[in-house]
Chains A and B, each alone.
Chain A
Amino acid sequence: GQQLNQSPQSMFIQEGEDVSMNCTSSSIFNTWLWYKQDPGEGPVLLIALYKAGELTSNGRLTAQFGITRKDSFLNISASIPSDVGIYFCASGRNTNAGKSTFGDGTTLTVKP
């Protein structure tokens, strides 16, 4: 099936540093989504992108939908300890209703 390549697989950073992660695909998508998952819980939506080139912010988080519609990135500025978790990208097409393809996740560790 379709696959998303999410990188990096894991990150160990110091509190206060900025973080960047991205997802790429060989296929074109209409939607890019970024989720965060805390241990033992379900993923929570952070940012949804619906248009090529769209740049959206949510507090210290910023995400962009690539112009080619085959990639997306998520930036976190001035990281804090509660940013720890697994970040997933997901993509979908309008023809598939809500069905999404998920990346393998980026595990973020923030050292105080």
Chain B
Amino acid sequence: DGGITQSPKYLFRKEGQNVTLSCEQNLNHDAMYWYRQDPGQGLRLIYYSQIVNDFQKGDIAEGYSVSREKKESFPLTVTSAQKNPTAFYLCASSEGQPQHFGDGTRLSIL
């Protein structure tokens, strides 16, 4: 089946640790996105990439980093500089509109 796969489903981070969230898509979409969702709030854009080897900061990029070495993959690293990383992270891809979403990764602090 075509779709977007995020892994792991749950992730725990220790203080001072970097963690990487995986996002893979087999929809052959050029664009991919990372969002952060906090309880009772909408989706806030962290980073997006419209083509391989290129990406742009979204509204809340501080403390996060990404890479886009392959069309199907867009991993997100939550660095130790992100002081409040506990949230639900959603990856999406699109060819124009609309975006298609994965099932998310819930990140918590130990």
Contact = CB atoms under 8 A, between A and B. Distances in A.
**Does B bind A?**
yes
Interface in A26-64: 31, 33, 35, 40-45, 48, 50
* Contact count band on A: 20 to 34
B45 to A, nearest CB: 7
* Contact count band on B: 20 to 34
B104 A41 contact: yes
A88 B90 CA distance: 14
Contact of A99 (B4, B45, B90, B101): B45
Contacts of B94: 97-98
Question: Binding site of B, secondary structure by majority: helix, strand, loop or mixed?
Answer: strand
A103 B31 contact: no
A97 B33 CA distance: 12
16 contacts: A1-B59, A40-B103, A42-B6, A42-B104, A43-B101, A44-B101, A45-B100, A48-B98, A88-B42, A88-B43, A97-B31, A100-B97, A100-B99, A102-B42, A104-B42, A105-B40
Given A6-B42, A45-B98, A105-B40, 4 more contacts: A43-B101, A45-B100, A48-B98, A88-B43
Interface of A: 1, 4, 6, 31, 33, 35, 40-45, 48, 50, 88, 90, 92, 94, 97-100, 102-105
